[in-house]
């Protein structure tokens, strides 16, 4: 029963992003004028990291970060479960070296390995019960010396959300234009909590914060360098 309830919650999360696709870019916090500085700092961190080579973007959404990755990468494979956001991503970031894949990230498996795995705003949508399996997927996506770059929100964001109590995973209520309401998973980590959760799985995370809202992290496995020197 618990597995069925979690599956229903995750399905509703996808439905929410399908319904929100047309308004996402106008409501995403990094597009709000007051957070323009945060976006600039995150873009600068990503460029310093140097997202070269074969790049995989998980939960690409409308392509706000796909376009940044495509400026540097040899190829970008961008995966999302919502066809509506993929269509917007195609219009925004369409290029011969950008490949879009419609798939549920909790069941999808890669057909190749990548020099870089990137995701923004996705880790907080991974239920605690799926955390270990998700990071196994990330490891399976990486080339032997592959790197990971993550952007997400900090725990202070919880004050801006409407909690949905009694769910099979931490969740919030979200509304779209027209008043339709949905549930979405929302798990927020401080830098210390994220490092502590990842360490037993064999990941080392260097985490930085941007203001009160955002964090970004560079991750590596087995002591391999994860800095800004390009594809090993």
Q: Would residue 229 count as lying in a domain?
A: no
Number of domains in the chain: 1
Q: What are φ and ψ of residue 198, in 5° steps?
A: -85, -30
Q: Would residue 228 count as lying in a domain?
A: no
**What global pTM score does this model have?**
0.93
Distance of CA 198 to the CA centre of its chain: 16
CB 51 within 8 A of CB 73: yes
Q: Would residue 14 count as lying in a domain?
A: yes
Burial class (CB in 10 A: 0-12, 13-18, 19+), 81: buried
Q: Would residue 226 count as lying in a domain?
A: no
Q: Would residue 120 count as lying in a domain?
A: yes
Q: Summarize the confidence of residues 69-88 as an average pLDDT.
A: 98
User: At how many degrees (to 10) do helices 83-93 and 2-27 cross?
Assistant: 30
Report which secondary-structure segment, H or E, holds 162: strand 162-163
Contacts 24+ apart (CB under 8 A), 38-42: 38/210, 38/211, 38/213, 38/214, 41/210, 42/151, 42/210, 42/214, 42/216
Cα(10)–Cα(12) distance, rounded to whole angstroms?
5
Considering only CA atoms, which of 82, 118, 81, 75 is closest in space to residue 103?
81
73 φψ region: left (φ > 0), alpha (ψ -120 to 50), beta (else): beta
Report which secondary-structure segment, H or E, holds 207: strand 203-210
The domain in which residue 134 lies consists of 2-221
Predicted local confidence at residue 228, as pLDDT: 37
Where does the pLDDT of residue 31 fall: very low under 50, low under 70, confident under 90, or very high at 90 and above?
Answer: low
Where does the pLDDT of residue 225 fall: very low under 50, low under 70, confident under 90, or very high at 90 and above?
Answer: very low
Considering only CA atoms, which of 232, 8, 20, 28 is closest in space to residue 113?
232
Domain CATH number, residue 91: 3.40.50.150
Q: Would residue 110 count as lying in a domain?
A: yes
Contacts of 135 (CB under 8 A, 6+ apart): 198, 201, 203
pLDDT digits (tens, 9 = 90+) for 144-190: 999 999 999 999 999 999 999 999 999 999 999 999 999 999 999 99
């Amino acid at each position: 029963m618990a597995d069925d309830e979690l599956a229903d919650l995750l399905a509703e999360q996808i439905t929410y992003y399908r319904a929100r696709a047309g308004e996402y870019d106008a409501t995403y916090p990094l597009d709000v004028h007051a957070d323009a500085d945060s976006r600039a700092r995150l873009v600068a961190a990503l460029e310093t990291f140097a997202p070269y080579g074969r790049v995989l973007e998980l939960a690409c959404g409308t392509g706000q970060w796909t376009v940044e990755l495509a400026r540097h990468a040899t190829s970008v494979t961008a995966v999302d479960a919502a066809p509506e956001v993929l269509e917007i991503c195609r219009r925004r970031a369409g290029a011969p070296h950008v490949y879009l894949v419609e798939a549920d990230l909790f069941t999808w498996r890669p057909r190749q390995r990548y020099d870089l795995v990137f995701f923004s705003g996705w880790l907080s949508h991974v239920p605690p019960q799926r955390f270990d399996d998700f990071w196994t997927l990330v490891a399976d996506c990486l080339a032997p010396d592959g790197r990971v770059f993550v952007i997400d929100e900090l725990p202070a964001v919880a004050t801006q959300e409407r909690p949905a109590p009694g769910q099979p995973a931490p969740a919030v209520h979200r509304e779209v234009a027209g008043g339709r309401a949905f549930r979405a998973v929302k798990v927020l980590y401080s830098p210390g909590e994220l490092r502590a959760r990842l360490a037993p799985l064999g990941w080392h995370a260097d985490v930085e914060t941007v203001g009160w809202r955002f964090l970004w992290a560079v991750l590596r496995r087995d002591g391999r360098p994860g800095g800004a020197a390009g594809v090993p």
